[in-house]
Amino acid sequence: MRVIISILSLLIFSLPCLASDCGATRNREEIDRTRLLVVYAASVRKTIGGFPTPYGKRECVRFVFMISPWGNPFNINISETSNNTAFEMAAFDALSKYKFKFQPLGFFHHYSLIISGIDNKLN
């Protein structure tokens, strides 16, 4: 019984560490392929909550989307996240301003990018 509890607690405490990369290791090939198409990358606006800290907290969001023939992302969906709504919205705004290389058939493919940053950090 004690061994089962130890294994369960180990699994529970290791889950946040496994999810913290927002799927970067599992989706490396697709993310790298998409990163090569970026022509313009907008920066993520600062997000500061009610109780900022000197170091902030690392946040990430993995988006899955399509690219229009004009290089604009559309049908943007959040696939994985570190569960910070304010950062998700800021990252979504940034991704919607990205420009990609001309993709005549981009709306037939799914692309993936991870936007990460530090949230809730004192100036």
Instruction: Dump pLDDT digits (tens) for 1-20.
Output: 554 444 444 444 444 444 47
Q: Give the pLDDT confidence of 80-95 residue by residue, as tens digits.
A: 999 999 999 999 999 9
Cβ neighbours of residue 76 closer than 8 Å, sequence gap 6 or more: 63, 64, 65, 92, 95, 96
Residue 76: which pLDDT band, with cuts at 50, 70 and 90?
very high
For the chain, how long is the longest CA-to-CA vector?
60
Amino acid at 104: P
- Protein fold of 20-119: TolA/TonB C-terminal domain (3.30.2420)
Q: Residue 52 to residues 16, 40, 61: CA-CA distances in angstroms? A: 21, 30, 20
Give the alpha-carbon dihedral of 49, 62, 118, 99, to 10 degrees: -100
73-81 and 57-67 strand pairing: antiparallel
- Rounded to two decimals, the pTM is 0.80
Are 38 and 84 in contact, with CB atoms under 8 Å apart?
A: no
